[in-house]
Structure 1
Amino acid sequence: MSTERKKTRLEQLQQETDQRNFIKSYPVLNKISKISSTDKQLIELVLAYQDNDQPFKMSFGKIADLLGIESKTVSNIVLKLSTLGIVIPDHKANDVVNGVGRGSSTDLAIDIDRIIELVKAPAEPKASRKPRTKKEPASTPEPVQDPQPTPAVDVEQRAPAEPIESVQQPEQVATDKLDVKKAEMKAKFESKFHFGTKGLPIIPADFHSLTNNIFRDALHFKIIMDRIRGLVNNDFEGFWSAVQDLKKELPK
């Protein structure tokens, strides 16, 4: 007859904190050069639930408290690990009442097969350093005789030509910056809706999240709803066009 081991005081405190008996540490994760120690802590936290067949439904704020980091850092880590294929986020929109979304939530899961693949991947070879070459001693210069004086010649002095610099026009600079912002927004858009069902309407909560809430307090709710109505999560160009149109409505 087996008896259950009595929990230590630290294990009891851990269970009182987040209902987990303990969180296993996986030193083998250190073999993945692309993740940091904080990334590893988040993976181990999710696995503590996943290994017990329980969904991981913790808010980013709660995760931040447990790991001792900021909520924004948690968001960046989840985005990074999902890009690597390690974390599988399941973004769910909450109920919609009278056409207004009531927020959203994200469940996290770990792709074990992807972790094993990254652990077993061969390490990237380090660039070899070239051996330093021994400097040759400087040779002693031979004495140089003074040259014969050259007769003076009246030469017309001309001002040196000014170098022609390539000047980028203001319109081109603005266009380049807009292209960069569009590329960054497209990556953020595709990452947010990568794992969900395609063709679903974009709810206001997701729209404000993608645009960093720049329109939420600056424009009337009806103006925003009229512009984002009909947008779907697999049409970035339509989303980008709506963002540009709403920017024109912002107060100067």
Structure 2
Amino acid sequence: MKPILEVVNIEKYYGGKTSVTKALNDISFTVHEGEFIGVMGPSGSGKTTLLNMIATIDEVSAGHIHLDNQDLTEIHPKKMAQFRRENLGFVFQDFNLLDTLTVGENIALALTINQYKDTEIDERVQQMAKRLGISELVDKYPYEISGGQKQRTACARALVTSPKLILADEPTGALDSKSSQILLETLSDLNRQLNATILMVTHDPYAASYCSRILFIKDGKLFTEMIRGEQPRKVFFSRILDTIALLGGEITNVH
């Protein structure tokens, strides 16, 4: 597997001359193509800040982030939106679907902005909707479907452009237990079947147990990492709980 994401000694500071807060402190790691990575840590540990750095939503104070050998810290601000559309897929806790567009139009949005041909847009939307089990919903509006269906629509939108990296921010946070399980199994299937590379920030140890590797962040530093390997998910889940206890962090949504 080739490296797709390389985070090199990144740091993030907030504040001014009199008061400086270090949100991230010399964090380095590599994500290989086809990995399903989880990022965990207590509230305030820096995991969301880390996600925002990788998403190019926020700038690093020091260090470098390389996505497929391109240095994100050197991209011109005017080209940043295009870079995100062409290289990154996003799955958010609150779905971020547009209520004025149908499910199909929401999935197609990035393709439309990137000026794909209509025939290719239709083909890609149909293929992705079928893969995620929402083909019968493409003509409905977001307010007409369930939370789980909205999140699968968000996944379809994130994947339809075949991005190099999918960033998921607490994707199960607004879902009930059954919908969460369906979404996690869907992400896991997409990871295996499409070789999709996924980086997921989560508080939920159950969600994290679907990952192939977990990075634990504490006080802005990389505390440890855990590799699942061939372990059954239930065994991996227990190990995650033990590590969270060591971190002194909160545990939420335990199924």
Q: TM-score if structure 1 supplies the norm length?
A: 0.28
| Structure of higher RCO (CA pairs closer than 8 Å, 6+ residues apart) | 2
Structure with the bigger percentage of strand: 2
Question: If you compute each CA radius of gyration, which structure gives the higher value, 1 or 2?
Answer: 1
Q: TM-score if structure 2 supplies the norm length?
A: 0.28
